[in-house]
Copies of this chain bind each other. A is one copy, B any other.
Amino acid sequence: MRDVYQEQLAGLSDVLAGMCLQVATAMEQATRALLEVDLQVAEQVIAEDLRIDDLRADAEEKAFGLLLLQAPVATDLRVVTSAIHSAGDIERMGDLALHVAQTARRRHPHPVLPAEVTGYFAEMGSTGTALARKAAEVIRTRDVDMASTLEADDDTMDDLHRHIFSVLLAPSWAHGVRPAVDITLLARFYERYADHAVSVARRVVYVVTGRMPGPLAV
């Protein structure tokens, strides 16, 4: 049987993995709100964001309590300091999903996206959602090989991001400045969401190996 201390450490990882699943759902729904011009789904994402913020506060409190009462060392200390970082990253992922939902709400009942970019955003949504679910799995299993696969998914996101800009900046773009501004910011939200998921996975690699893999692309 694990002792209280080990339970607390495991509990901290559980909160983080749960947060990842929540922000995955948030991004999935926010993308649906965007693509299907669905105000109700947008509102749901916006309302749920407060729960993600609460989970972050919970994770930070648990981390602080462990440092205070258990003074962890070695791997355990890395678990706790990494949790502090990752809670911030995952909360930010929730904020970015929130921004997508807010954009859908702001333009409702009009769609934000002209038809020629909806396919890219559908892919960005599924790539982002998959990244967040994988990050949850990496936190749960501490699987370093799986952690490294997030880098490839992030490359997919970066490619999508670049494609979207090439559409916006092509001479054939016929929708003017306002949709271009919306799309520029939306694409950035998805790209940053993916960066944070990679960052979470890298922290797990650090927990396991004691070394941080390469710096986040900025």
Contact = CB atoms under 8 A, between A and B. Distances in A.
Secondary structure call for the A interface: helix
Nearest to A189: B188
Contacts of A168: 177, 181
A184 B189 CA distance: 13
B181 A218 contact: no
17 contacts: A49-B218, A53-B215, A60-B81, A64-B81, A68-B77, A84-B85, A85-B88, A88-B88, A99-B218, A165-B181, A168-B177, A169-B178, A176-B177, A177-B177, A180-B180, A180-B181, A185-B188
Interface of A: 49, 53, 60, 63-64, 67-68, 71, 73, 77, 81, 84-85, 88, 95, 98-99, 165, 168-169, 173, 176-178, 180-181, 184-185, 188, 215, 218
**When A and B form their complex, which 4 residue pairs have the shortest distance between CB atoms, in order from nearest?**
A71-B71, A95-B218, A184-B184, A177-B180
